[in-house]
A and B are shown apart, each in its own frame.
Chain A
Amino acid sequence: MGRKILDLIRAIIFNRWVLAAIVVLLFLMPSLFYAREWCQELDAFTSPLQDSVCTYLIEEKPVTNAVLLNFTQLFILIILASNWNLTGGFTGYIDFGHAVFFGLGGFATALLMGSSRWEDWPALFSDWSFWPAMLGAGIVAAIFALLIGSFTLRLKGPYFSIAMLGTLVATREIVRASSNISGGGLGLSLPVYLNRPMFYYLSLVMLLFVVNFVRWIRSTEFGSSLVAIREDEVGAEMRGINTTLNKITVFCISAFLTGLVGGMWAYMNTFLDADIAFNQNRTIDMVMMTMLGGLGTVAGPVIGSTILYWLRDVLWANFLLFHQIFEGILLIIIVLFVPEGIMGLLDKDSSGTSLNRIVKGWFKKEPEEHPRTS
């Protein structure tokens, strides 16, 4: 019976119509926001319908800046977790310092947009507009990943994890110490741009891109070779896979995407310093959300991030003081009791039946036996 329920959940989640409906709703959501603005500018309501709708929108405020910000943050977390999953989940290199790329992306964007406090900052790399600056952030993060990865990716297992944790901590200290560039304790201020719907759409588009990108990567030979590296790196290399090249490539791709998100986040936040840009908790978030959803699966980070974000928002907002303690405990519980994550639970012994067939089965007297499809 439990298996049947899990199969139903799995079928609903992976039904393409359900997914499409969710995406369409997410795209339409800010229109309520704009509708309310439009209503507020009206002098008088001309029809009863308009009257009731506008009254509802203005009184109840179903979609506010805060709601859009919440969703934007959720999307950012999903993107980060998906990126982390590329190295941590597929390739098996558990990166405890992935936030370093996020922070570097943020600082790169800030500096390129001209918020440096240093007079000698080259004019060529200053006063860029947001889009090229964000792209620059990704490139900076990717170059840093290439430099640091060519050392740390030689290390195996826990050695890699700790070396990356060290990279994060050391980079944070170096950035903090080089105060004429990073602003030190004062931090950097970016040009203020408070267009929540824009960031909402940008992060939503990036989310769709990243998830589909990861899915596509997994379907290629390159993606399979990453899993082969996770399963047996020595064997993969002896069977002709250039493991060093492949793992550095995926590390740089992951860093590039993380850097982009960092850049966007910095612009949205309008302020950053070393502590918030290189926040260790961000790495923990990536690890925890991916673990909860299912390490090395495409859907895992999406599911894990959504659930964890919802838990945080709804449940732990009431226990603000204890929320970090709760998160530590939750991490331990996830790792000890559901190491395969939610996707692991759903996929284990799954019949892989599609929603279509399950629903059809309900209306038939004798449901057919269906072969495993996936």
Chain B
Amino acid sequence: MTTEMTSNQKDQSPLLEGRGVSKYFGGLAALHNVDFAIYPGEIMGLIGPNGSGKTTLFDCLSRVQQINTGEIHFKGQEISKKKPFQVAHMGLARTFQVFRVYRKLTVLENMLLSRQWRNESIFRQLRPSHPDTDQRARELLEFLTLDHLTYEQAGNLSGGQQRLLEIGMALMPDPELILLDEAASGVNPVLINTIKDRILHLSNEQGKTFLLIEHNMEFIGDLCSRVFVLNFGEKLAEGTPEDVMTNEDVIEAYFGS
């Protein structure tokens, strides 16, 4: 293990931990025997060439995909048998590589719908959104510089704005772990810096934990304390961004030999 953990991290138990996670599509191994651990408060990068299983891993974590073998523990609980909404209730939020905003609803409605849905009965939902929820949604929109679009239909937003909205929707339930799938792709440089700022702010001020898939190495280098590399569904390397980017296996996987 090349990782240099801070003493803080060694003492803590991991927030999210996977042991021997495998996922097969037919005969194709999208993930093979992957182990990983993410500690509270860190920003971890997940990189790898196209088709290396990054998004599949996210899908397995947010329970859209069933894993074939292995265990995933989140906050000490086994989650690989839970439903997607139950994992969300536990405090795991994510964004998507392909936008998943509710296109026909307004930006504000999108945010309100992403609130923390505790396991409440239908009757609790039979009322308009709580003023506190509304307040929080508006604050977050302001934080993400989307407040001028509050009443716009989400489908009319530009790609970068939809990215920001997705991040806002992921932040809305005040999750402990946030999975960001290519949060910087298709976003103009100014917005990238905004996103970067916001992530750092959330990590430093509020102690949120992030796991990000990214192709933009600069983005990774600026944000992440640790990087995890997948290739053909297997763990290739793990360590600080500098270590990983000079790792020969990684260079070979990206650029070929």
Contacts and interface: CB of A to CB of B under 8 A. Distances in A.
Interface of A: 217, 219-222, 224-225, 227-228, 230-232, 234-243, 245-246, 249, 296, 372
B254 interface: no
B152 to A, nearest CB: 11
B89 interface: yes
Contact of A220 (B89, B114, B116, B126): B126
B49 to A, nearest CB: 25
Given A231-B103, A238-B64, A224 B112 contact: yes
Nearest to B89: A240
B129 A221 contact: yes
Given A219-B128, A249-B122, A237 B100 contact: no
A9 to B, nearest CB: 22
Contact of B83 (A220, A237, A246): A237
B122 A240 contact: no
Given A228-B105, A240-B88, A235 B117 contact: no
B102 A232 contact: yes
Q: How large is the interface on B (under 10, 10 to 19, 20 to 34, 35 or more residues)?
A: 20 to 34
A225 B84 contact: no
A165 B84 CA distance: 30
Contacts of B85: 237-243
Interface string B52-64: 0000000000111
25 contacts: A220-B126, A220-B127, A220-B128, A221-B125, A222-B126, A224-B112, A224-B129, A225-B125, A227-B105, A228-B102, A228-B105, A230-B104, A234-B100, A235-B101, A238-B62, A238-B64, A238-B85, A239-B169, A240-B114, A240-B117, A241-B85, A242-B85, A243-B85, A245-B122, A246-B122
B113 A225 contact: yes
Contacts, number: 89
B88 A238 contact: yes
A235 B125 CA distance: 18
Contact of B127 (A221, A227, A228, A231): A221
Contact of A227 (B96, B102, B128, B169): B102
Contacts of A246: 122, 125
Interface in B74-95: 83-85, 88-89, 93-94
B173 interface: yes
The majority secondary structure among interface residues of chain B is loop
Contacts of B101: 232, 235
B109 interface: yes
Nearest to B151: A372
A234 to B, nearest CB: 6
Contact of A224 (B64, B88, B105, B119): B105
Nearest to B104: A231
B105 A238 contact: no
A236 B62 CA distance: 12
A243 B64 CA distance: 13
Given A221-B127, A237-B83, A246-B122, A228 B113 contact: yes
A372 B122 CA distance: 33
Contacts of A235: 96, 100-102
Given A221-B112, A232-B100, A232-B102, A238 B94 contact: yes
Contacts of B127: 220-221
Given A221-B112, A236-B102, 11 more contacts: A221-B128, A224-B112, A227-B104, A227-B105, A232-B101, A232-B102, A235-B100, A238-B94, A239-B114, A241-B85, A372-B151
Nearest to A231: B102
Contact of B84 (A217, A232, A237, A245): A237
Contacts of A224: 105, 109, 112-113, 129
Report, nearest first, the 7 A-B pairs whose CB atoms are least far apart.
A235-B100, A240-B88, A231-B102, A240-B117, A222-B125, A237-B84, A221-B125
A246 B114 CA distance: 15
Contacts of A219: 128
Contact of B117 (A217, A220, A241, A372): A241
Contacts of A222: 122, 125-126
Nearest to B127: A220
A218 B63 CA distance: 29
B129 to A, nearest CB: 6
B128 A239 contact: no
Nearest to B179: A238
Contacts of B105: 224, 227-228, 231
Contacts of A238: 62-64, 84-85, 88, 94, 100
Q: Interface centre among B84, B104, B128, by most A CB within 10 Å?
A: B84
B137 to A, nearest CB: 12
Contacts of B122: 222, 245-246, 249
B125 A220 contact: yes
B132 to A, nearest CB: 13
A314 B74 CA distance: 65
A82 B64 CA distance: 33
A76 to B, nearest CB: 26
B168 to A, nearest CB: 12
Contact of B173 (A217, A220, A240): A240
B182 to A, nearest CB: 16
Contacts of B62: 238
Contacts of A236: 102, 113
